[in-house]
Amino acid sequence: MLQSSLMLKDIRKIALYEPLVYLDKSDMDKFNDMVRRFDEEVSEGKYLKATADIAKADVPSLQRVPSFLLEMFFGLVYLIDDVRTKGNDVRLTALLPTLKFDVQLVNETKGRLEDFRTVPAEVLLLGGSRSESLLKESLDLLNNVLPHVHRIELQGLDHKAAANGGKPERIADELLKFFV
């Protein structure tokens, strides 16, 4: 969205919840390797293993949990999601293969951070106080380069807050204040 606003001057306001930008080679190499393994497992139909592996890599406290327990947990999550998904809603397992595209967009920000100094739009950066340092570092970098920026840290929230199982209403409140 930031890149689009550089070309589409009619974009006047942008709100971002914990956007990730390219930080440094070491962090991004780890991140890319983790997502590459995840994508390989998903493409082989190993959704439970892929989800358990990335959860363990993403959440340090889960590293002590046996993988088979995490796989059972995610199996239940996906089963409940399958039962609850109605109409045009998309199942979680259908979204798993799209993670690689998110990572591709992050990689495309390498060496582009300074470009964002000319973003003409007013930007709202939202993040949770309990989110991982990688996300907070990205917010810090963007906060320091964007010319028309307002940053809000939502106390007690993490990266999953925007999801239906999190606290999306807290984020929606901030979006309403910003856009209305």
Domain boundaries defined on the chain: 1-22+111-180, 23-108
Tokens 């993670």, located at residue: 99
Tokens 């999190």, located at residue: 166
Helix or strand run (H / E) with residue 139: helix 133-145
Helix or strand run (H / E) with residue 31: helix 25-43
Task: Name the CATH superfamily, with its identifier, for domain 1-22+111-180.
Answer: Alpha/Beta hydrolase fold, catalytic domain (3.40.50.1820)
Tokens 């239906």, located at residue: 164
Distance CA 148, CA 44 (A): 44
Q: How far apart are the first and last CA of the chain?
A: 19
pLDDT given at position 96: 94
Tokens 């100094």, located at residue: 117
Distance CA 52, CA 33 (A): 15
pLDDT given at position 48: 97
Does the global pTM surpass 0.85? no
Q: Write the CB contacts of 70 (distance below 8 Å, at least 6 apart in sequence).
A: 51, 52, 55, 56, 62
Cα–Cα separations (whole angstroms), residue 105 to 83, 108, 177: 32, 5, 28
Average pLDDT per block of 10 residues along the chain, 180 residues long: 88 95 85 92 96 87 93 96 92 93 90 93 96 90 96 92 83 96
The CB-based long-range contact list for 33-42 (8 Å cut-off, 24+ gap) reads 34/58, 35/99, 35/100, 35/103, 36/100, 38/96, 38/99, 39/97, 39/99, 39/100, 42/96, 42/97, 42/99
pLDDT given at position 61: 85
